[in-house]
Amino acid sequence: MTFQEQIKQGIPQELPQPKPYDPNINHAPKRKEILSPEEKKLALRNALRYFDKKHHAVLAREFADELNTYGRIYMYRFRPDYEMKARPISEYPGKSEQAKAIMLMIQNNLDYAVAQHPHELITYGGNGAVFQNWAQYLLTMQYLSEMTDEQTLVMYSGHPMGLFPSHTEAPRVVVTNGMMIPNYSKPDDWEKFNALGVTQYGQMTAGSYMYIGPQGIVHGTTITVLNAGRKIAKNGEDLTGKVFVTSGLGGMSGAQPKAGNIAGCITVCAEVNPKAVHTRHSQGWVDEVIKDLDQLVARVHSAKANKEVVSIAYEGNVVDVWEKFDAENLHIDLGSDQTSLHNPWAGGYYPAGLTFEEAKNMMAENPSSFKEKVQESLRRHAAAVNKHTAKGTYFFDYGNAFLLESSRAGADVMASNHIDFKYPSYVQDILGPMCFDYGFGPFRWVCCSGKQEDLQKTDNIAREVLEEMAKTAPARIQQQMQDNIRWIIGAQQNKLVVGSQARILYADAEGRMKIAEAFNEAIANGHIGPIVLGRDHHDVSGTDSPYRETSNIYDGSRFTADMAIHNVIGDSFRGATWVSIHNGGGVGWGEVINGGFGMVLDGSAAAEKRLKSMLFWDVNNGISRRSWARNDEAMFAIKRAMESEPLLKVTIPNLVDDAILNNI
């Protein structure tokens, strides 16, 4: 069968041959044993409902083995034989160009060069899934190949509920992931209901088909590291010869060494998983690999002396690095952590004192002891960080729940008021006031032609738009404009593409609309092929996350989730091609609600109308909320937006003099 025939077939009527377990692929860890015998039967019933009764006897035993062996039913037998990658849009079968673009994005999320655990349909973060099982993938792709522009596909935590009549201006796909009743949104609830096959953790851009590999976070990480450096800079010095220590080389965290190189520092990034280290090194995202601590210390001293720009992966535990550098009195200028502590008990954080394999075995076989080891390691980790900050290290939480889980473990991470953490999150100190409040966030696009020359053309278009905007941009956002111009000029040289021909750029509402309009015009003129627009949910308005995206909201509303819900509803009737809303993502199940979108540009007048309507709302929705929280930068930005759009009228807060309140 051809590729197109396999897509259109969906779930095959006859059973394919079982697929051997490939040990060379990076697999998800075994999930904890959490289902009762009766619940395991329910999980099997749930899985078997995708298949004809004639196959139930064979598949029931096979799926039971998977459930007992891996803690989940992945349906490995039904993994496609064709190569999993984003193809040019013309190669997909279908009646809707928008649906074909979505198929392209789904396959990019599962590309072996992109996905963290491709055989388990997990894109990044240890548990960020596109689908729960391969039957869902096959059925979804079949539905998309049949869809017209007057239908909408409804996705229920990875399950394709079906095609429903709608209209051409409606989203082609509506995605939800993990939308639990609040009292059933604890970490063990995810373990249980995911094992039952009734919900999934979509992370941010995994379950919404908008992940573009580690490039998606490189730009934000670069901005973060650059501005962290500016916070500690003296006399205008840059990051030359400065040391940045962090950890994680997974789907998101793997961007750190590349960002460190672009920012111009010495990056030491620890990672316990040898396969993750190999992947990032082979892709050129990290320069060197060192496995010995003494050798690491010597190499960093040499890099400092020679003022090198270099990224070093330490294959081992980051706790050992912090402790070793303290013992050797090796100064760390910047410090953070990007292990997946939103998922601390199921592979997101590996404790010091155990090998990678020992930790995996304990995680599956003795989860209570594993939890104790993780919390013990977090206390050590925090204690070592504290020793360095006492010597002048600037440490920031990277929104991965490091400080949150450390506090729950009893580590010394609380401020003197016993309410706040002693270290700021990077959103509180850097991205919030410098970017999000002004409307700057991770706008991204994918060239559906798959052509490298199309990506080059879009880079040039974006650069020209930004340079023209910078001529008249207010002084308050000139630094953001120049950082973006610097980024886009170096994008090709830094070889950021993994998977699809995609790019990310931190732009505000005006920049996003002008760049998208220029793309649409280039498509109409035949200069480039169709484009998919999107963004990371880690943005101005798509995500309500009190310890990350909205951590610089100080009016008491940071634990509310109205903004994310408003965002996805507003996007859906303003022209998005697909919309998504998730529980979890980045900081953990039950800790955040986040929404995203995708939009296809085809060069039409209708696409131009949609992009102007939706992109304006998608950003200014968040700025208006941040303005109401009395954030000065956001108040400036929303007033500027109202000047540019007469139909926009936002409630502006009246500021209270502190003296009045202090005298009560």
Could you read off the pLDDT of 531-579 as tens digits, one per residue? 999 999 889 999 999 988 999 999 999 999 999 999 999 999 999 999 9
Read off the pLDDT band of 530 (50, 70, 90).
Answer: very high
Which parts of 86-186 fold into alpha helices (H)?
97-110, 134-146
pLDDT mean over 41-52: 98
Q: Please report the pLDDT score of residue 233 as a whole number.
A: 85
Q: What CA–CA distance (Å, rounded) separates 607 from 522?
A: 13
Q: Please report the pLDDT score of residue 465 as a whole number.
A: 97
Q: What CA–CA distance (Å, rounded) separates 620 from 648?
A: 10
**Which residue do the tokens 């003795």 mark?**
366
Query: Three-state DSSP class for 205?
Result: coil
> Which residue type sits at 307?
K
Task: Report the run of H or E that residue 503 belongs to, with start and end.
Answer: strand 502-507
Rounded to 5°, angle at Cα 124 from 119 and 127? 75
Residue 111 phi, psi dihedral angles, 5° rounding: -55, 135
Q: Please report the pLDDT score of residue 35 as a whole number.
A: 97
Q: What CA–CA distance (Å, rounded) separates 166 from 176?
A: 18
- State yes or no: pLDDT of 305 exceeds 90: yes
- State yes or no: pLDDT of 251 exceeds 70: no
Residue 165 phi, psi dihedral angles, 5° rounding: -60, 140
- State yes or no: pLDDT of 231 exceeds 70: yes
545 contacts 446 by C-beta, under 8 angstroms? no
470 contacts 478 by C-beta, under 8 angstroms? yes
**Which residue do the tokens 């995203």 mark?**
596
Read off the pLDDT band of 220 (50, 70, 90).
Answer: confident
What percent of the chain has a predicted confidence (pLDDT) above 90? 82
Q: What CA–CA distance (Å, rounded) separates 283 from 417?
A: 45
Contacts of residue 595, defined as CB under 8 A and 6 or more positions apart, other chains included, come to: 537, 542, 543, 564, 565, 567, 568, 571, 579, 580, 581, 582
Task: Report the run of H or E that residue 244 belongs to, with start and end.
Answer: strand 243-247
Least confident segment among 53-62, 464-473, 583-592? 583-592
β-strand 543-544 against 593-601: which pairing, if any?
Answer: antiparallel
Q: What CA–CA distance (Å, rounded) separates 15 from 58?
A: 10
Among candidate residues 79, 80, 101, the one with its CA nearest the CA of residue 92 = 101
Read off the pLDDT band of 493 (50, 70, 90).
Answer: confident
Number of neighbours of residue 547 by Cβ within 10 angstroms: 25
Per-residue tokens: 316: 């081992």
pLDDT in tens, 315-358: 999 999 999 999 999 999 999 998 888 788 888 899 999 999 99
In order, the DSSP letters of 371-416 are HHHHHHHHHHHHHHHHHHHTTT-EE-B-SSSHHHHHHHTT-S-B-T
Per-residue tokens: 111: 């590309």
N- to C-terminal Cα separation, the chain: 78
Q: Check the CA dihedral 465-468-470-472 and report its sign.
A: negative
638 contacts 627 by C-beta, under 8 angstroms? yes
Q: What CA–CA distance (Å, rounded) separates 337 from 327?
A: 20
Residue 273 phi, psi dihedral angles, 5° rounding: -90, 110
Q: Please report the pLDDT score of residue 250 as a whole number.
A: 80
Read off the pLDDT band of 420 (50, 70, 90).
Answer: confident
Q: Please report the pLDDT score of residue 399 as a whole number.
A: 73
What is the length of the chain? 664
> Which residue type sits at 519?
F
Q: What CA–CA distance (Å, rounded) separates 135 from 439?
A: 40
Average pLDDT, the chain: 94
Per-residue tokens: 449: 């032609």
Backbone Cα Rg of the chain: 24
- State yes or no: pLDDT of 376 exceeds 70: yes
**CA atoms within 13 A of residue 56's CA, in its CB half-sphere:** 11
Residue 56 phi, psi dihedral angles, 5° rounding: -65, -40
Phi-psi region of 85 (alpha: psi -120 to 50; beta: other; left: phi over 0): beta
pLDDT mean over 264-272: 96
- State yes or no: pLDDT of 586 exceeds 80: no
- State yes or no: pLDDT of 161 exceeds 90: yes
655 contacts 630 by C-beta, under 8 angstroms? yes
Which parts of 160-255 fold into alpha helices (H)?
187-196, 215-232
**Which residue do the tokens 């999107």 mark?**
534
This prediction has a pTM of 0.88
600 contacts 607 by C-beta, under 8 angstroms? yes
Q: Please report the pLDDT score of residue 553 as a whole number.
A: 95
Residue 156 phi, psi dihedral angles, 5° rounding: -110, 85
What percent of the chain has a predicted confidence (pLDDT) above 70? 100
Enter the DSSP assignment of 431: I
Least confident segment among 85-94, 323-332, 480-489, 623-632? 480-489
- State yes or no: pLDDT of 287 exceeds 90: yes
560 contacts 84 by C-beta, under 8 angstroms? no
Q: What CA–CA distance (Å, rounded) separates 128 from 174?
A: 18
Torsion of CA 373, 379, 384, 385, to 10 degrees: 120
**Which residue do the tokens 């039957």 mark?**
135
Q: Please report the pLDDT score of residue 497 as a whole number.
A: 85
Read off the pLDDT band of 424 (50, 70, 90).
Answer: confident
In order, the DSSP letters of 309-343 are -EEEEEES-HHHHHHHHHHTT---SEE---S-TTS
